[in-house]
Amino acid sequence: MPSFIRKALSIGGPVSALSVVLAPTVQFAHGWDQEPDGWSLSAVTIIPLGIALLLYAVGVARLWRRAGMGRGVTWWRLACFATGWALLVVALMSPLHELGERLFTAHMIEHEVLMVVAAPSLVLSRPLGVMLWAFPSAVRRSLASARWWPLRRAWRGLTEPASATILHGLALWLWHMPILFDAALTSEPVHWLQHFSFLASALLFWWALLNGHSRRRGYGASVFYLFFTSMHCGLLGAVLAMSGSDIFAANSSAAAQWGLTALEDQQLGGLIMWVGAAAFYLAAALILAALWIGSGSAEQKKAGGSARFIRN
């Protein structure tokens, strides 16, 4: 059992332990008031995020001018894009990013925001088709008529649920190997490669399960892959939370400012992955399971109605 939770249990029982688990919210708010960190305004993030926002905004404006507001791009998909984009800003540019280089718990929160919240929000918005409308009609026709078969074949392979799940899992486990994790802390290019691989693999993963092959075949496979991801993600979090040694001490230089030791910082970060991220994947699996069951019931009713119509 993590030492900081064991300490809380010995003092005040389960309620005290729960307060320790919930402490990051209070501690982060208190710490920011004491030492406000600046925003990470880097061209590596500003340019891609700015281009994505500009293309999407222009595409929405053109679609709505032609089809009417709320058509072509529904309001809820617009809200999904805005949510995903804003969360990318929070994870990559807000003070959370700078703090994540000195506090393992903040680093873990940053990664979970990227993979389990921002990525599915962006996938649900289905932005690629909208962004194409930002280009002149001649460019759109040229892109549509071009022979992209090598890219399409690669895209189909990457967005197969099995391959996307494996890639996402590999990104998660490999970057938490101490040698690669430490390399990301000491090298800015490696750090951005880490963020990119987390986000890219998560986008492929959520696309495969929500908008890709699984949607055409039914959500049954998606439920399995989400459950599998929840299990191995929870396992990694449990390893970090239950560890008796500080594996990522180099990422905990600010732990003392938040009332934590380096080991407690690592354990709390692992607990966030173990409970928070794994629970999110599991919740998504349950939602898709409900949709899967509902779609099957609807098809049975439709088939029953057709059979009665033929008999009559």
Residues 101-120 have pLDDT tens digits of 889 999 999 999 999 999 99
The per-residue pLDDT of the chain, averaged, comes to 80
The answer to whether position 40 is within a domain reads yes
pLDDT over 70 percentage in the chain:
78
**For the chain, what is the domain count?**
1
pLDDT surpasses 90 at 47 = yes
The answer to whether position 182 is within a domain reads yes
Residues 222-268 have pLDDT tens digits of 888 999 999 999 999 999 999 888 888 777 888 888 888 999 999 99
Q: How far apart are CA 57 and CA 224, in angstroms?
A: 36
pLDDT of residue 13: 41
The answer to whether position 99 is within a domain reads yes
pLDDT surpasses 50 at 27 = no
The answer to whether position 69 is within a domain reads yes
The answer to whether position 165 is within a domain reads no
Residues 141-166 have pLDDT tens digits of 777 666 667 777 887 888 888 999 99
Q: Which of 78-82, 283-287, 301-305 has the lowest mean pLDDT?
A: 301-305
The answer to whether position 217 is within a domain reads yes
pLDDT surpasses 90 at 98 = no
pLDDT surpasses 50 at 307 = no
pLDDT of residue 291: 79
pLDDT surpasses 70 at 295 = no
Q: CA angle at residue 277 from 22 to 284, to 5 degrees?
A: 125
pLDDT surpasses 50 at 19 = no
Q: What is the pTM of this model?
A: 0.79
Q: How far apart are CA 92 and CA 89, in angstroms?
A: 5
Domain of 248?
Answer: 3-141+170-300
The answer to whether position 115 is within a domain reads yes
- Going by C-alpha positions, the residue among 150, 118, 110 that lies closest to residue 52 is 118
- Type of residue at 251: N
pLDDT of residue 125: 93
Contacts of 31 (CB under 8 A, 6+ apart): 257, 258
The answer to whether position 94 is within a domain reads yes
